[in-house]
Amino acid sequence: MTPVTIVATGVANTASVSTSLRRCGASVQITDDPAQVRDAEALVLPGVGSFAAGMERLRERGLDVPIIERIGEGRPMLAICLGLQLLFEGSDESPGVAGLGVIPGVIRRFDPSVRTPQFGWSRVEAGTGCAVLDSGDAYFANSYRVGEPPQGWVAATSEHGARFVAALERGPVVACQFHPELSGSWGLALLTRWLALVPAKEATPC
C-alpha cells in the first residue's frame, strides 16, 4: 500500500478524502506534525472554508515551511479545493493575508453575474501535457478561482461564467480546485494515477 499523509488543517473534512485514498490502495495517516509533513512519502493538503483560517492554521502549527519545501523539491503532493488556493500569494477573500506563495498570482472571486458559490458538477478539460489530470466531470464547491494557468504548470480548465483553472500539475505535485474524492469513478481514477507517481519504498536489507 502507498503511504499517504493528510495535513490536519482544521478547516477540512478529511473523512471522504481518507476513504477515497484507501479505496485506491493507500494507507492513510492524518497529522499536524511538521516533521511528519516534511518526511511524508506522499502528502495531501485538503481544505474547505476561508483562506485566512486555512493560512492561520498552517502558520500556527509550523506547517507552512515544510509544505513550501516539498513543492520546491517536487515531492508528491495533492492539494484539494482551498488547498489549491493556499498555494498562491493571496486571495480576494482575505485581503492582506499572505498565502504560501509557491505559485504566483492572487485568487479572484467569480464574476458577480454568475451564481456564487459554484456547487455541483462541471466539465473539466485537461490541457496538453497533463499526465495525472484527465478530461471528465468533477464536483466543485467554490466561490473563488484561478483565472489563468501560471507559468511552469500544466492545467485543466472548466467554465463557470468564463474559463478558469480547474486543476494544475507539475510532476507529482497536483492541485485541484474540484473535489476528486467526491467526483465518482473519474475522481478515483485521478487519485490512482497520482498515487502511481509516488516512488516505491525500497525494502530494508536483512
User: What whole-number distance in Å separates Cα of residue 78 and Cα of residue 80?
Assistant: 7
Cell numbers placing 199 = 516512488
> How many other CB atoms sit within 10 Å of the CB of residue 176?
29
Give one DSSP letter per residue of 67-108, joined into a string: HHHHHHHT--EEEETHHHHHTEEEETTSTT-----SEEEEEE
Catalogue the active-site residues: 81, 179, 181
| Strands of the chain, DSSP E | 2-7, 26-31, 43-45, 77-80, 88-91, 103-109, 118-126, 136-142, 144-145, 154-160, 162-170, 173-176
Alpha-carbon distances, residue 70 vs 15, 62, 186 (angstroms): 24, 14, 27
Q: Count CA atoms within 13 Å of residue 6 on its CB side.
A: 23
Rounded-to-5 percentages of helix, strand, coil across the chain: 25, 35, 40
Cell numbers placing 145 = 478561482
